[in-house]
Amino acid sequence: MTNAIAALAGQQNFLVAGLMSGTSMDGVDAAIVRFDASARSPRAELLAFVTVPYPDELRASLADLTVGHDTTAEEIALLNMSVAVAFSAAFFEVCRGAGIDAKQVDFIGSHGQTVAHAPPIKGGAPVAGTLQLGPPGAIAALTEVTTVGDFRVGDIAMGGQGAPLAPAADYLLRRSEQCGRIILNIGGVANVTFLPRGCQRDEVVAFDSGPGNMVIDELYRVLFAGHGSFDSGGAAAASGTVSQPLLDELIENAYFNAVPPKSAGHREFGPRYAWQIQSRAQELGLPRADTLATVTSLTVDTIVYAIERFVAPLGEVSELYLTGGGVHNETIVSGLTRRLGGMTLKPIDVLGIPADAKEAVDFALLAREAVLGRPNVLPNVTGATKAQVLGTIAAGMSR
Amino acid sequence: MTNAIAALAGQQNFLVAGLMSGTSMDGVDAAIVRFDASARSPRAELLAFVTVPYPDELRASLADLTVGHDTTAEEIALLNMSVAVAFSAAFFEVCRGAGIDAKQVDFIGSHGQTVAHAPPIKGGAPVAGTLQLGPPGAIAALTEVTTVGDFRVGDIAMGGQGAPLAPAADYLLRRSEQCGRIILNIGGVANVTFLPRGCQRDEVVAFDSGPGNMVIDELYRVLFAGHGSFDSGGAAAASGTVSQPLLDELIENAYFNAVPPKSAGHREFGPRYAWQIQSRAQELGLPRADTLATVTSLTVDTIVYAIERFVAPLGEVSELYLTGGGVHNETIVSGLTRRLGGMTLKPIDVLGIPADAKEAVDFALLAREAVLGRPNVLPNVTGATKAQVLGTIAAGMSR
């Protein structure tokens, strides 16, 4: 009988599963990644990736929690286990699809399912917190594979935002000795990560530029009800004309001018914000396609502004890699391409990991760092008072 | 920079903190223990122990959760952090009191605060769960000491009750090559752990015999309102006479005859049960002291019955060690002494760890097993389908 966790610390190459579900709660992203031996600049090879939808009832219960519906401690305890079961099922499915024996996987890095995120706010409540369901102890039991999870709470305990964590993975996997790079993740909000040429970890700059898809999706679902849940390819936006008066008003938001580090979420750019925009669009008598064109332009313009104002002065940037659901919105991508003429825009896929798998791979990598006992968070990015080894580790059956 | 968790796996002697808060939520028990090098039969030396009361507001919020009051995911996230802060404060206090530099502590074993426990029930819901607040990742951040916690969820994931976990510690610390021993823990319920002479871990038998202090406390608080929250020393019970008719009725409970493994809690012997007894006592016209004498005798009689029926046939038992709050109830202790004439009854303190510190020490020991990568649960006791290394480990700052 060997010590499963300690044995891993002596390995150099790893076969790792990354499990992730984001705030959209579509399902569990599961990736199998091979990390090579190079410690300073690990290389990741994606062997398999699937997204396994949540059972409808579970998704509905989790969505209720996220919007603040009443619950009980017991319901949380049960959902905690249900999420672990769903994550474990996704793990077995990605193994099966890739023809990999689950027992060959060295460990799992699992983000869990965020159902509450209340990071510290200046002048806010004295206590902050975050809650990811799907405890590593249950996943390790169900899969018999050592599991690292619950990454965010330690950062919040140290006064950080518990986010973003991906820039630490970007630093390890995606920095270049040849040129400055931006990783632009267009998810619900848009995150900009700047990796200066040959940077050290404390030179990485990352922040949320503003809305990504969140406002677009919210308005599309109502304005174009019956035509799907998002503006596929950005076609609806492309059919409209940007309202400069509305766009000018929206740009007048203190958030966009605030100096990083800064992070945003539902509080800033959630449904309430979207409905204020729609209300103003109605006053202006805008056709629905024009409203959508305008908020799509808002995403593009605030990203461009953030890069020009907060990144460009810090150093040379010649490459920008796009990831997140926004890569599928051609109106966004063509807008960025037109406006950021000095940079080469590429899908992040060209670096080896497809955009859809990036977050799952990133948490596999953060788990690798945890297993190796290395700090895996950038405190200057999260605002925490110190770097730590985030993640708690539950032992699988020893081999 | 060393790998904090992996480095521990190579150590033989440990200075460990154990942190525990039970269902009474009086506060956080904090112990500092030294474990010696002998792997098969570790020896524990208690260096310091304190109980640090919860802040009133936190205790009230946690108590509300436990009885099923409405909450939100965000409130759970915030209380999760508040419990971690309280546990970390208790850790620093026990260190300070003992004159021990917190940095000298190798790791912390933290039970956390249970706010929901819904183990699998035959014929019950398909999903089970348990929720201990105070995540190890936050305690490790706040204390800078590697922390093991969240012990129960992995056992429940494997179909176990997630309890009792103490028998695994009893097996390691308290079994004897010379004689069969019972560890009798009289807490809210009464737990019997039988350690046959020279036993192997799969020979340990442990189960709940029935009520411990729970029913006594519940009735005392109302019948003797204004005289404290429990029957100090068992004096009120001693002043009454047992009602044999009522006692006979109470003994006619299928639970007491059920063959172990079995576990009980609020569901079986909580407030509702106490009030059924009080209602029956009123019908019988019993004076309040007689009611208390009767339920005190119920605790004694069901313990004696459990030992005679379910333990004595399994092997020789010559020593019984008492622990839990019930050791302070002289009416219980003298009743047991009188009825269990063939055994030597001793406070567990004579084995080296005072009763009040036992649970905190036990979780320090279970954490030690986790750090060493050894199974630390007895599946024949919890009902789980397999033994595992329970507990998830969050790295402190590497030294």
Higher pLDDT, B234 or B397: B234
Distances (CA, A) of B332 to B193, B213, B292: 18, 10, 12
Residues A252, A289 share a domain: yes
Contacts of A156 in chain B (CB under 8 A): 81, 138
- Interatomic CA distance for residues B303 and B213, integer angstroms: 12
How big is the A-B interface in CB pairs under 8 Å? Answer: 221
Query: How far does B180 lie from chain A, in Å, by closest CA?
Result: 28
Beta bridge partners of B118: B129
Number of domain units in chain A: 2
Indicate the SS3 state at residue B398: coil
Assess contact for A323 and A183: CB atoms under 8 A: yes
* CA pseudo-torsion sign A32, A36, A37, A41: negative
Residues A68, A208 share a domain: no
Supply the pTM of this predicted model.
0.94
Judge: A388–B370 Cβ closer than 8 Å, yes or no. no
- Interatomic CA distance for residues B77 and B79, integer angstroms: 6
Q: Is the peptide bond before A135 cis (omega within 30 degrees of 0)?
A: no
Residues B366, B262 share a domain: no
Assess contact for B361 and B46: CB atoms under 8 A: yes
pLDDT at B399: 56
Residues A331, A372 share a domain: no
Residues B103, B209 share a domain: no
- Interatomic CA distance for residues B33 and B106, integer angstroms: 10
- Interatomic CA distance for residues A250 and B200, integer angstroms: 71
Ramachandran class of B390: left when φ > 0, alpha when ψ lies in -120 to 50, beta otherwise: beta
Measured from the Cβ of residue A57, the count of other Cβ atoms closer than 10 Å reads 9
Question: Is residue A371 in some structural domain?
Answer: yes
> Any idea how long chain A is?
399
Judge: B157–A81 Cβ closer than 8 Å, yes or no. yes
Q: What percent of chain B is modeled with pLDDT above 70? A: 98
Which amino acid type is present at position B314?
Answer: L
Mean pLDDT (chain A) is 94
Whether pLDDT at A39 is above 80: no
pLDDT at B2: 83
* pLDDT band, residue B1 (cuts 50/70/90): low
- Interatomic CA distance for residues B163 and B301, integer angstroms: 23
Of the residues B389, B390, B398, the best mutation for testing chain A's interface (the one with the most A CB atoms within 10 Å of its CB) is B389
Residues A367, A326 share a domain: no
Instruction: Measure CA A368 to chain center.
Output: 18
Residues A170, A158 share a domain: no
Question: Is residue B399 in some structural domain?
Answer: no
Question: Is residue A399 in some structural domain?
Answer: no
Q: Is the peptide bond before A261 cis (omega within 30 degrees of 0)?
A: yes
Residue whose C-alpha is closest to residue A360's, from A11, A8, A22, A107 = A22
Residues A321, A177 share a domain: yes
Whether pLDDT at B38 is above 70: no
Residues B363, B346 share a domain: no
The answer to whether A4 faces chain B, any CB pair under 8 Å, is yes
- Interatomic CA distance for residues B212 and B324, integer angstroms: 9
Question: Is residue A29 in some structural domain?
Answer: yes
Query: What are the DSSP E strand ranges found in A220-291?
Result: none
Whether pLDDT at A372 is above 70: yes
Assess contact for A305 and A233: CB atoms under 8 A: no
| CATH number of domain containing B244 | 3.30.420.40
Question: Is residue A106 in some structural domain?
Answer: yes
Average of pLDDT values for B254-258? 95
- Interatomic CA distance for residues B81 and A126, integer angstroms: 11
Interface of B with A in 133-192 (CB under 8 A): 135-138, 140-142, 149-151, 153-158
The answer to whether A113 faces chain B, any CB pair under 8 Å, is no
Residue whose C-alpha is closest to residue A111's, from A75, A73, A139, A144 = A139
Reported as a single tens digit per residue, the pLDDT across B164-180 is 999 999 999 999 999 99
> Any idea how long chain B is?
399
* pLDDT band, residue A25 (cuts 50/70/90): confident
* CA pseudo-torsion sign B193, B195, B201, B202: negative
Beta bridge partners of A131: A116
pLDDT at A125: 74
Residues B70, B53 share a domain: yes
Residue whose C-alpha is closest to residue B115's, from B156, B159, B160, B60 = B60
Q: Is the peptide bond before A245 cis (omega within 30 degrees of 0)?
A: no
DSSP assignment of B57-97, as one string?
HHHHHHHHHHTT--B-HHHHHHHHHHHHHHHHHHHHHHHHH
Residues B187, B143 share a domain: no
| Domain extent at residue B383 | 3-162+358-394
Assess contact for B296 and B332: CB atoms under 8 A: yes
Assess contact for B390 and B366: CB atoms under 8 A: yes
From the list B65, B68, B81, the residue facing A129 with the nearest CB is B81
Domain boundary among A318, A335, A351: A351
Question: Is residue B328 in some structural domain?
Answer: yes
Distances (CA, A) of B158 to A79, A86, A143, B354: 16, 15, 10, 33
Residues A191, A83 share a domain: no
Reported as a single tens digit per residue, the pLDDT across B194-215 is 999 999 999 999 999 999 999 9
Distances (CA, A) of B320 to B192, B348, B349: 10, 8, 12
